[in-house]
Amino acid sequence: MIKKRKLIIIVGPNASGKSELGVKLAKKLNGEIISTDSRQVYKGLNVGSGKITKKEMRGVRHHCLSVANPKKVFTALDFKKCAEKAIATIYRSGKTPIIVGGAGFYIDAALGRVKLGGVPPNFKLRKRLSKKSALELLKILKKLDPKRAKTIEQKNPRRLIRAIEIALLKKKCRGVNFAGFASTQPRGPLGGREESKINTAALVWIGIRRPPEELKKRIRARLNKRLPNIIREVKRLRRGGLSWKRLYDLGLEYRYVSLYLQKKLSKDEMVQKILTESWHYAKRQMTWFKRNKKIRWIPNPKSLPTIL
């Protein structure tokens, strides 16, 4: 039996101060950071995604940052692979891995708390299905996988399409053992575990939770400071060949700044949109994390728990 190694996970909403805490802990514990952010994985999405700067890293090594081409979708599975590799590397060098991020789904995927199927995205199929209504999609799914049809969010086209994608491939490969498939996987207390080095680690969850008004203020301050650079960044991304559509899908600052640059929003509308949407996002992040009872909540990065 391998001795349990420590793995620290720092979570919290947008603009709560996770990166700062991460570096602080890394310094203290001789650790390295695995950033868990669905937009910071892309090259060129820097200011807008709130990516930590070289200077802010203070010499601490960060993994899974700027590892993907923004033109292509980087999936949760891609992230999981990156994180696992990083964790292995960090352990090998005798250091402590510290996962820092706000993308709850990615973190849970990386740790095997959410099981990813093994069915890659089929963009042609998605495109075709995207023309159908949720009701039509549900009908299709009912035929393909009645079991999944019962548990799925019945009005969410994106989920329905993915479920159909899975069911279709499953059908095609009937006979093969697909026990690992998400669609038939019970949700167990941890959503099903997987074999990995992570299972042998002692997980320490830390969450930063700030009062709503304070968080809103931080979000606003951060945007004010960065907006000019974000606009510049979006222009640069455009020149680099990102479509408006892609920028829209990237969400938040990328979405609304590009609408502004296309003159579909005034500057003021853009700012308001980014602010409220960032707040909504922060709340969504919190609802994700609230379920995780292992998280120890602290009010700010300064109140470092003594458990370490």
Residue ranges for the binding site for ATP?
Answer: 12-19
Shortest reach from residue 109's CB to RNA, in Å:
7
- Count Cα atoms within 13 angstroms, Cβ side, for 96: 22
Interface residues toward RNA, by CB under 7 A: 37-40, 45, 48-50, 73-78, 102-106, 109, 114-121, 126, 130, 152-153, 155-159, 161-162, 166, 182-183, 185-187, 191-192, 212, 249-255, 276-277, 279-281, 283-288, 290-291
From the CB of 257, what's the least distance to RNA, in Å? 10
Q: How far is the CB of 31 from RNA (least distance, A)?
A: 22
Q: Which is nearer to RNA, 4 or 72 (CB)?
A: 72
What would the DSSP string read from start to end of the chain?
-PPPEEEEEEE--TTSSHHHHHHHHHHHHTEEEEEE-TTTTBTT--TTTTPPPHHHHTT--EESSS-B-TTSPPPHHHHHHHHHHHHHHHHHTT-EEEEEES-HHHHHHHTTSS---S----HHHHHHHTTS-HHHHHHHHHHH-HHHHHHS-TT-HHHHHHHHHHHHHHHHTTTS--TT-GGG---TTTS----SGGGGEEEEEEEE---HHHHHHHHHHHHHHHHHHHHHHHHHHHHTT--HHHHHHH-HHHHHHHHHHTTSS-HHHHHHHHHHHHHHHHHHHHHHHHT-TTPEEESSTTS--TT-
Query: Which is closer to RNA, CB of 30 or CB of 224?
Result: 224
Kindly tell me which of 74 and 205 has the beta carbon lying closer to RNA. 74
Residue 42 CB, nearest approach to RNA (Å): 9
- For RNA, which is the closer residue by CB, 109 or 201? 109
Question: Toward RNA, which CB reaches closer, 74 or 91?
Answer: 74
CB of 29 to RNA, least distance (A): 26
Binding residues: 12-19
> In the bound complex, what is the minimum distance in angstroms from residue 131's beta carbon to RNA?
12
